Amino acid sequence: AGGYIGSFTAKEFAARGAKVAVFDRNAEGVEKTVGEINAAGGTAIGVTGDVTSSASVDEAVKSAVERMGGLDIMVHAAGGSARDENRPLVQQTDEVIDRIIKVNLYGAFYTARAAARIMIEQGRGGRIIPFSSVIGYNGCRNLADYSAAKGGVIAMVKSLAKELGEYRRRELGFVFQFYNLVPDL
């Protein structure tokens, strides 16, 4: 939540009364978002880490739960494409493909898994909200890596809704949502 979309999302949750753990690899962005939330009368803490590392995500979630007392909602807003490096797939580098897939898809898996583990242990369900894109449905020229990652997030949400349904509680069940924030190109 140190970037534009994540920061906006964190501030919106805080404005509606949620206690927010702000997570990003950008320490300055984390501090800024936490400061803005707390200055506006909300409650926020900062956790620095990297969504492309399962160990980092697990540690961040553990730290946030210990400091905040639980976990009810997990939002995975980390993402982005290499727009300055957009090119046809036959010209794309392994490094760009790897980075895009790790942030957008692996990050969604790691955050969903970490959240689900805690939410199951708590016994009261929760909300897992990974951001996707309409490009995940429709694809986009010169963005095969990003399109595939966001399409994977959509498929993950459908699968996890079925997989975690057994933990559903009458009042508070697992709810999986994804948001289409990028216009169709």
Cβ pair 156, 130 in contact under 8 A: yes
Q: Quote the tokens at residue 46.
A: 């900062």
**What amino acid is encoded at 34 in this protein?**
V
167 is an active site residue: no
What tokens appear for 57 in the block?
Answer: 């995500």
Instruction: Tell me if 110 sits within 8 A of 49, measured CB to CB.
Output: no
Residue with tokens 């492309």: 52
Which residue stretches of 128-175 are H helix? 135-138, 144-163
Q: How many CA atoms lie within 13 A of 57 on its CB side?
A: 23
What gap in Å lies between CA 105 and CA 127, rounded to an integer?
Answer: 18
8 Å CB contact between 16 and 43:
no
Catalytic residue among 110, 146, 167, 179: 146
**What dihedral do alpha carbons 104, 132, 78, 112 form, nearest 10°?**
-80
Query: Looking at the annotation, which residues are catalytic?
Result: 146
